[in-house]
């Protein structure tokens, strides 16, 4: 543990940020799984709604600094491509 106040406070903040980021990433992964489940069932209307929600969550995670913008673009592209391929 840190000896002075400033590094100790920094360690506490880092832990709080880690837990917040972990919760947000978990929420994002759950939304992606919901989207893929709807897609695999063939429920394309529900999948389209879930795709919009996942896209929104990915964009928000970029603004919060949880995901890099290129990673977000790659994930959105892959999810959209999967929808377009199966919805034909």
pLDDT band at 2 (very low <50, low <70, confident <90, very high): low
| 81 neighbors 52 (Cβ within 8 angstroms) | no
Whether residue 3 has pLDDT greater than 90: no
| 72 neighbors 58 (Cβ within 8 angstroms) | yes
Q: Nearest CA to 57 among 81, 86, 88, 33? A: 33
Q: What is the CB neighbour count within 10 angstroms for residue 47?
A: 24
pLDDT digits (tens, 9 = 90+) for 8-56: 899 999 999 999 999 999 999 999 999 999 999 999 999 999 999 999 9
CATH, domain range 5-86: 1.20.58.110
Q: What is the pTM of this model?
A: 0.86
Give the contacts of 28 (CB within 8 A, at least 6 positions apart): 54, 57, 58, 61
Lookup result for tokens 């995901």: 67
Q: CA dist 1 to 4, 10, 43, 67, Å? A: 9, 11, 52, 29
Task: Check residues 1 and 42 and name the one with the higher pLDDT.
Answer: 42
pLDDT band at 57 (very low <50, low <70, confident <90, very high): very high
Whether residue 1 has pLDDT greater than 70: no
């Amino acid at each position: 543990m840190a000896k002075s106040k400033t590094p100790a406070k920094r360690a506490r903040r880092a832990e709080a940020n880690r837990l917040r980021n972990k919760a947000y990433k978990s929420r994002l992964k759950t939304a992606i799984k919901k989207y893929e489940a709807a897609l695999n069932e063939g429920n394309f209307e529900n999948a389209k709604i879930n795709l919009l929600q996942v896209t929104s969550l990915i964009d928000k995670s970029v603004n919060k600094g949880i995901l890099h913008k290129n990673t977000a673009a790659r994930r959105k592209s892959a999810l959209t491509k999967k929808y377009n391929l199966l919805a034909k």
